A and B are shown apart, each in its own frame.
Chain A
Amino acid sequence: QVHLVESGGGVVQPGRSLRLSCAASGFTFSTYAMHWVRQAPGKGLEWVALISHDGNNKYYADSVKGRFTISRDNTRNTLYLQMNSLRAEDTAVYYCARDPSSCPPLFCWYFDLWGRGTLVSVSS
């Protein structure tokens, strides 16, 4: 069975850092682009970042550009999100999600598999 399992969430003070992980299983992780998507409490979905299958191409939402870094380790089947200079408005459940990756030239820009999410709460 295919699975994505996020971890690393928690309570953190404004201005501090946190790193999220997403462990993939049941599919060939190294052939898929991956996304992070977040959802603030009681709010809608917001895309955060995308990384290509090989890690060479990355895209970010304007709201996190310069503060968050997406990365991956294909030897560990794991996706990461390094979050620096955290703000109260970054409080959300963070989901990792798979891009079908079957669309030319590189990305499909949608999500065919989601993890269950990990909650990040930024508060003093």
Chain B
Amino acid sequence: YELTQPPAVSVSPGQTARITCSGDALPNQYAYWYQQKPGQAPVMVMYTDTVRASGIPERFSGSGSGTTVTLTISGVQAEDEADYYCQSADSNETNVLFGGGTKLTVL
């Protein structure tokens, strides 16, 4: 069971960034998203597919369809430049899986 993310996404300020995460178990398991800026610890931005974590701006949203979940950042700002990781649990809930991460570049 793997989670697959695009290695990189680039957008201009003010545009919409969409970061996808695909995995066969995602229809049956929740997905979570973390933001990691250089030299810093990860921060949870989204949980149970669509719920924004505390303190996360409203421009962040999550959605899911079938085997793919998507983190959408509307009106991207320079401060959103970071690595983003999706995460889920395996179907037996005895293991945690991370996607390989997506580097978001704000042009």
B residues near A, CB below 8 A? Answer: 30, 32, 34, 36, 40-44, 47, 53, 85, 87, 89, 93-101
Contact = CB atoms under 8 A, between A and B. Distances in A.
Given A44-B85, A45-B34, A107-B93, A114 B42 contact: yes
Given A109-B89, A110-B87, A112-B53, A117 B98 contact: no
B47 A47 contact: no
Contact of A47 (B41, B93, B97, B100): B97
B55 to A, nearest CB: 11
A47 B34 contact: no
Given A44-B85, A47-B95, A59-B95, 13 more contacts: A35-B96, A45-B36, A45-B42, A45-B87, A50-B96, A110-B32, A110-B89, A110-B96, A111-B32, A111-B34, A112-B53, A114-B41, A117-B41
A19 interface: no
Contacts of B85: 44-45
B47 A112 contact: yes
Contact of B101 (A45, A109, A116): A45
B41 A116 contact: yes
A95 to B, nearest CB: 6
Nearest to A112: B44
A34 to B, nearest CB: 13
A11 interface: no
Counting chain A CB atoms within 10 Å of each CB, the highest count among B41, B85, B97, B99 belongs to B41
Contact of A44 (B32, B89, B93, B98): B98
A109 B93 contact: yes
